[in-house]
Amino acid sequence: MTNIDHTLMNTILARLAADQITRRQALRMLVAIGGAVTIPALGTQAVAQEASPAATPVVGPRDDGTNLWEVEVGGMDMEAGIDTHAFYPTEMTIGAGDTIWFNFTPMGMPMFHTVTFTSGEAAAPIIVPDMADGTPVANEDGSPRFLINPDVAFPSGGDTYDGTGLINSGLDVFRTEEQGPFLLTFSTPGSFDYLCAVHGLVMKGTVTVLEAGAELPLDAAGVQAQADEQRAALIEEGKAALAAIEPELGQPSADDPNTWDVGAGVGGESQARVMRFVPRDLSIKVGDTVRWTNHQVGEPHTVTFLGGTEPPEDVLVEPQASGTPIFVQNTLTLLPSGDAEYDGTGYHNSGFIGFPPDVSAMFGLLTEPYELTFTAPGEYSYYCILHAGGPEDEMGMAGTIVVEA
């Protein structure tokens, strides 16, 4: 096993031990990178002892006269189901030579974000077609094959930024203990914009770098207070957006009393994203149709009914001779599956809904909304593959349709 494979194995097992991924997810990923086929044989506790966590950076003045600052990357109010796609604080003023610790784990769990400085260039897309000598690669069933873009997934550009070139942290879910915290030193005065490559429509920040030794507007405590204030304001913004739209959802459509509207996420263009189906539970009659609309900008969701099938993995890991695996976007989750009627059996999936129209056209995704007509009485649980652990996930993005005779 290569060193990179061993690092990934330790990371997967550590996240399993911390209940950040399921045993099924861990097993699939371990098998894919060439690890053992049973989790108990590897021993998560032994791995946790072997891979000791990196030291937490100490924020504040340093002996050389520079400062270490902290910016928290994303966050979530679990009780309200609000995912905040923001950098805390969004704007920072520091001195040349200072370093920022971009803290991906204020909640102790990966959130699928990056810190990416593009120096004015367009950010790379998160999903790209798999190409071989300029020709698109197809899956065995003939469907197009897509990859998680390695230019987004993995770090690049080093640990010092002078305002030029690309600096990318890589996705937090793929960062390892061996890589340590993401620390970036700013060597040159200027104003530098950055974003999360996954949520770039709303998740943006700016670092203003003054001359070394210049007086700064805030100290570390002031920056933390500003971050806390921004976070609290966003949570309230998300709650307000949910309260405003709830009365409009879970009701028959104005143009068809047999069609019911459900929100697949709420938040519009806000950085406060309510990761819920609204309403979570809905009762309808046999023959009625449910229509799911994504009320967030640039944040994809799925509406997925398993119908007795096994839950699919969203990302498939393929080992490579180089040691660095390829992460394949599963078309079974990306693209629509199943017909327009549901009797409680068979896999029915909306595919990713909520991408911008140009992206949806590129991947052949369903144009919103997603509609499904229910033809048999029963109680049917469903979930968003991207934001829940399964149809029964009480804290994640899941829901239930009760169909009465």
Q: Are 278 and 244 in contact (CB under 8 A)?
A: no
Nearest by Cα to 197 from 179, 224, 174: 174
The CA distance from 383 to 302, in Å, is 7
Q: Residue 47: how many CA atoms within 13 Å on its side-chain side? A: 21
pLDDT of res. 3: 39
The CA distance from 282 to 296, in Å, is 21
The CA distance from 333 to 354, in Å, is 14
pLDDT of res. 239: 95
* pLDDT beneath 70, residues of the chain: 1-54, 105-110, 356-360, 362-364, 366-367
Q: Are 58 and 174 in contact (CB under 8 A)?
A: no
The CA distance from 90 to 233, in Å, is 13
Q: Which domains, from first to last, does the chain contain?
A: 3-50 (no CATH), 60-239 (2.60.40.420), 249-404 (2.60.40.420)
The CA distance from 60 to 72, in Å, is 15
pLDDT of res. 256: 93
pLDDT of res. 55: 77
pLDDT of res. 16: 55
pLDDT of res. 53: 53
The CA distance from 400 to 279, in Å, is 9
Nearest by Cα to 202 from 125, 143, 273, 138: 273
pTM of the model: 0.83
User: What is the pairing mode between strands 281-285 and 348-349?
Assistant: unpaired
For 139-155, what is each residue's pLDDT tens digit?
A: 888 878 889 899 999 99
Q: Are 308 and 302 in contact (CB under 8 A)?
A: no
Give the distance from CA 59 to its chain's centroid.
27
pLDDT of res. 243: 95
pLDDT of res. 5: 45
The CA distance from 84 to 299, in Å, is 12
pLDDT of res. 176: 75
